[in-house]
Amino acid sequence: MAMPIEMTKPNVHVLTSPDASPSALRQLTYGMEEEGIPWEQGTKEGMDALAMAWEAAQASRLEVGLGLDKQFVVLHYSKLDQSRPLYRVPARQADQVRALGANAARLVKKLPLKPLD
């Protein structure tokens, strides 16, 4: 009898620190939802936003990851060097955080990215 293979759904992975702002996470996910891309969120302790974003990108079947800590939100792509993310924005800038979520989705869809002004 064959064993069923568990397949994870393709989605953007989001890792947050325990002290991350719930409102920043909400804005980030709104941006992805507006673009129609699924996401999955988890929590990590002892890592900064950059490390979490890179780990999330490596784990995502879509190769896109986001990291959110108390100060920053980072968007990473699995093909990039760990120390060179696509974007890093302050977590307190709601408009930029929302646009970053949309950009994560646009990266998956291979669409032009939104400006983060």
Domain ranges within the chain, ordered by starting residue? 12-109
pLDDT score, position 4? 55
Q: Class of the 12-109 domain?
A: alpha beta
Least confident range of 5-14, 26-35, 65-74, 75-84: 5-14
Overall pTM > 0.85: yes
pLDDT in tens, 69-107: 999 999 999 999 999 999 999 999 999 999 999 999 999
Band (pLDDT 50/70/90 cuts) for residue 52 is very high
CA distance 18 to 12: 19
Q: What is the mean pLDDT of residues 13-28?
A: 97
Q: Evaluate if residue 22 carries a pLDDT over 80.
A: yes
User: Which residue stretches of 35-114 are H helix?
Assistant: 49-59, 94-109
Distances 24 to 79, 100, 113 between C-alpha atoms, Å? 26, 11, 20
Give the Cβ contact number of residue 79 at 10 Å: 7
Residue 110: strand, helix, or coil: coil
Taking 70 as the threshold, does the pLDDT of residue 23 lie above it? yes
* Percentage with pLDDT > 70 across the chain: 93
The pLDDT confidence band at residue 117, using thresholds 50, 70 and 90, is: confident
